[in-house]
Amino acid sequence: MLRKVKFFYTKAISIMIAFIMVLSLFGVFTNTSNADSYRYTYDGNNLDTGKYPGYKEKIDAIKSVHPNWNIVIMETNLDWNQVIIAESSFSSATSPYSLIQGKSGAWLCSTCGSRTFDSGSWYHASESAIKYYMDPRNWMDPNSSTILQFLQIGRVDTSDENIYNAIRNTFLDRDGQGWDNARAINNACRDNNANPFYVIARIIQEQGVNGGSTYKMAADGKYYYNIFNIGASGDGEAAVVANALAKAKEKGWDSLEKSIAGGIQILFSDYINQKQDTIYLNKFDVETYGGLYHQYMQNIEAPKSEASLMYSKIKDSGILNQPLTLVIPVLKNMPSSPCETPGNMGETRPKNIRVKQGHSQINVRESRSTSSRVVTMIQDSSVIVLSVERYGDGWHKIVLVDGTVGYIYFDTNYFEEIDDITNCNESVVLTGNDVNLRAGPGSSQAIITTLTYGQQMTRIDKDRYNIDGRSWDRVQLADGKQGFVASEYLQIATQSENVFTIRADGGLFLRREPAGEAIRLLPDGTKVTRTEIGTAEINGYYWDKVTTPDGAIGYVARSYLRDNNGNVPSGKVEVPQVPETPREPLVDVKKDDGKNTIFVEQDVSESTLKSQFGENVKITKADGSNIENGVVGTGYKATIEGKEYTVIKLGDINGDGNIDTGDTYQLKLFVLNREVANTDILKLSSDVNGDNSIDTGDTYILKLHVLKRSNIELY
């Protein structure tokens, strides 16, 4: 079931997807996940800056300007790249999750291009545009109105007079009804524990300052109201109004007060009470509770513009400096700096052009200027020219087959666009993880998107470009995007033992976890790449981890996968092994005479301490017994010149001298408050990042150390 809320100014569209499944057709249980994000109050020191870069400085600035505000960190546990894939996809065959209006060039999806949606003025937003609007760091200026898209929406007590002042000079203040409408809004918000300024901003966002076509509709000798455009859908204004009217009749909204109260109830029951409790989360639903990507609007600019409306109302009412609560979401693997605006640059994707017949010796310049240096010349129409970026000023960035990169001015007297130049049509699988799809061959070319291990695509041009010591292939993704990938990361699909076909009447659900929440329905016949084999039977099925052709990652029941011979797969998954990088032993030692402690790194042994402090150093376990195997651990005792010191090995929480999964488990119990680090030794060994607290920042660093992705070093 798909329900849309449509409006003419900011295109808020509600998308509720109800997965309805007949178990006899799919043979797989549907589970509703009530897991949610991990939320905690920011205290100035409990944010993992290594895991979530670029946040702390901005949050500290917010607290400096608004000391009364409460900042809640929302750890989504979602991967940034996977979320962008989802937000860039379609919720149905004809309806993208993310739309944008009044933009061009790099703001628009390179596949859909100028194709319009809905009323004809909306376009499918590009990944770059979605990243820009979705990156919270772009909207955390404490002096900007856009910061209130993170305001936790709950009841704010205020007077009818303040509400009236907020709706003055809008359609709600017409015909002497301003005060009645103000009281209706305040009463409905009070009854539903809602923030009236959020509601006013949403109404203006939906209807505009002057009111839209669905605000007041005549039918059956009376008027019906649909102030929030609930249930409005269709192509063109007539269809939108008809559906809005039908919903208003169904709900009995024959007065503005009924429409306001009914709309608020739907907003809160379907969104706010599902922990989508900010304007940002109304659009970008990264809250796992109740399911992901259940959005109120498709317009990616709506959180920004609606926050600005709400900011002015709250500021005018004098409550801006009250103890408001902001919920700031953080995701895994975000870029180190905030995502940049796409600007109004033209397309960034490969496209072939050529010199027209009868012309030759066309200059290729070093930069976008006729006065810049000429780096080479295009001899004639026989030369293959790849345009990788196109700018609004008419210049193209190009790559030639010999690797030359430069710029040409696309004068239609001399140049023309041509069909793609290709030499193959092969189904291939990506064998590397987080590989960049680039606009052209070469590691310096613009990144279009990031690909996922196991993602399938079609190679359409190969063995043509050898740049930076690599061969680069042109590929086309499942959604039509084109770009270049280094050949070394591609394998012909028929040569892979991990590519399988889904065979399930009606399709098969891709799930977030084994037997868990459904992410999407994969049609019968979809080819997926298996990346992990499930070893435990859950609900009667073994669940294998797979990657879909568009790069989404999830789990499916193995019994619905088939190999090329029509058999259910078995055996091991071939995953490329990344060789370990040799590391130097971790043997740093720091003695603290004030605290009688010696902090040591992972590989410190009895001989290390003796070489540091002399052969007469006496070293024992905590119970006084002799040490074994040489390596020392947390709690060991070292007596130096008659003074006893306690050894602290960061990360060695259980004191066995090793830093392993036993320690990660113990630290997790501390962080979850299931056990208490009740001694100074436990506290010191658990605080691996040295911020004087035991939290998720420490678990993250410890986990990376155990996985040999980084090392714990003394601070």
Q: In one letter, which amino acid is 24?
A: S
Q: How far is CA 192 from CA 142, 291, 380, in A?
A: 29, 23, 71
Is 50 exceeded by the pLDDT of residue 23?
no
Name the least confident of 4-18, 95-109, 252-266, 683-697.
4-18
Q: Which of 114-118, 272-276, 556-560 has the highest mean pLDDT?
A: 556-560
Residues in contact with 402: Cβ distance below 8 Å, sequence separation at least 6, in sequence order: none
Is 80 exceeded by the pLDDT of residue 47?
yes
What is the reported pLDDT for 102? Answer: 78
* Other residues' Cβ atoms within 10 Å of the Cβ of residue 583: 11
What is the reported pLDDT for 571? Answer: 58
Tokens 């004191």 belong to: 655
Residues 117-175: tens digit of each pLDDT: 876 778 899 888 999 999 999 999 998 889 999 988 776 678 888 888 888 888 888 88
Average pLDDT over residues 26-50: 68
Cα–Cα distance for residue pair 144/345, rounded to 1 Å? 26
Average pLDDT over residues 411-431: 94
HEC-encoded secondary structure of 122-144: EEEECHHHHHHHHCHHHHCCCCC
Average pLDDT over residues 205-231: 87
What is the reported pLDDT for 609? Answer: 85
State phi, psi for 353 to the nearest 5 degrees. -130, 170
Q: Which of 581, 531, 15 is nearest to 270 (CA)?
A: 15
Cα–Cα distance for residue pair 578/143, rounded to 1 Å? 46
| Residue 395 · residue 408 · CB < 8 Å | yes
Q: How far is CA 464 from CA 399, 401, 448, 472, 484, in A?
A: 12, 7, 20, 8, 11
Residues 518-547: tens digit of each pLDDT: 878 888 999 999 999 998 889 888 999 999
Q: In one letter, which amino acid is 702?
A: L
| Residue 186 · residue 197 · CB < 8 Å | no
What is the reported pLDDT for 709? Answer: 67
Name the least confident of 272-276, 394-398, 408-412, 511-515.
272-276
Cα–Cα distance for residue pair 442/569, rounded to 1 Å? 37
| Residue 511 · residue 487 · CB < 8 Å | no
Residues 379-393: tens digit of each pLDDT: 999 999 999 988 878
Cα–Cα distance for residue pair 30/350, rounded to 1 Å? 42
Cα–Cα distance for residue pair 470/574, rounded to 1 Å? 24
**Which H helix or E strand runs over 409?**
strand 405-409
For residue 3, what pLDDT band results from cuts at 50, 70 and 90?
very low
Cα–Cα distance for residue pair 437/477, rounded to 1 Å? 10
Q: What is the pTM of this model?
A: 0.54
Side-chain-facing half-sphere of 27: CA atoms under 13 Å: 12
What six digits make up the tokens of 634? 């947390």
Provide the mean pLDDT of the chain: 83
Through-space distance between the first and last CA atoms of the chain, rounded to whole angstroms? 55
Is 60 exceeded by the pLDDT of residue 576?
no
What six digits make up the tokens of 211? 């009111």
Average pLDDT over residues 66-70: 91
State phi, psi for 131 to the nearest 5 degrees. -60, -45
Cα–Cα distance for residue pair 428/488, rounded to 1 Å? 12
For residue 409, what pLDDT band results from cuts at 50, 70 and 90?
very high
Side-chain-facing half-sphere of 488: CA atoms under 13 Å: 8
Q: Which of 649, 653, 648, 650 is nearest to 596 (CA)?
A: 648
What is the reported pLDDT for 346? Answer: 63
What is the reported pLDDT for 191? Answer: 81
User: What domains can be seen in the chain, in order of their start residue?
Assistant: 348-417 (2.30.30.40), 426-495 (2.30.30.40), 499-562 (2.30.30.40), 589-706 (1.10.1330.10)
Q: Which of 42, 22, 40, 38 is nearest to 30 (CA)?
A: 22
Cα–Cα distance for residue pair 609/325, rounded to 1 Å? 50
Q: In one letter, which amino acid is 404?
A: T
Q: Which of 714, 680, 692, 687 is nearest to 702 (CA)?
A: 687
| Residue 454 · residue 387 · CB < 8 Å | no
Classify strands 643-649 and 637-640 as parallel, antiparallel or unpaired: antiparallel
Cα–Cα distance for residue pair 605/630, rounded to 1 Å? 5
For residue 362, what pLDDT band results from cuts at 50, 70 and 90?
very high
Q: Which residues of 603-617 are buried (b: 16+ CB within 10 A; e: fewer)?
A: bbbbebbeebbeeeb
What is the reported pLDDT for 19? Answer: 28
Q: In one letter, which amino acid is 90?
A: F
Residues 661-714: tens digit of each pLDDT: 778 878 877 876 667 778 888 889 999 888 788 877 788 788 778 777 678 888
For residue 210, what pLDDT band results from cuts at 50, 70 and 90?
confident
Q: Which of 666, 671, 660 is nearest to 696 (CA)?
A: 671
What six digits make up the tokens of 358? 């009868």
What is the reported pLDDT for 713? Answer: 82
Q: Which residues of 93-125 are buried (b: 16+ CB within 10 A; e: fewer)?
A: eebbbbbbbebebbbbbbbbeeeebbbeebbbb
For residue 11, what pLDDT band results from cuts at 50, 70 and 90?
very low
Name the least confident of 333-337, 486-490, 581-585.
581-585
Cα–Cα distance for residue pair 694/77, rounded to 1 Å? 19
Cα–Cα distance for residue pair 309/199, rounded to 1 Å? 10
Residues in contact with 210: Cβ distance below 8 Å, sequence separation at least 6, in sequence order: 170, 171
Bridge partners, 352 (sequence order): 386
Is 90 exceeded by the pLDDT of residue 280?
yes
What is the reported pLDDT for 297? Answer: 81
Cα–Cα distance for residue pair 88/108, rounded to 1 Å? 11
Tokens 């937003």 belong to: 125
Q: Which of 73-82, 626-635, 688-697 has the highest mean pLDDT?
A: 73-82
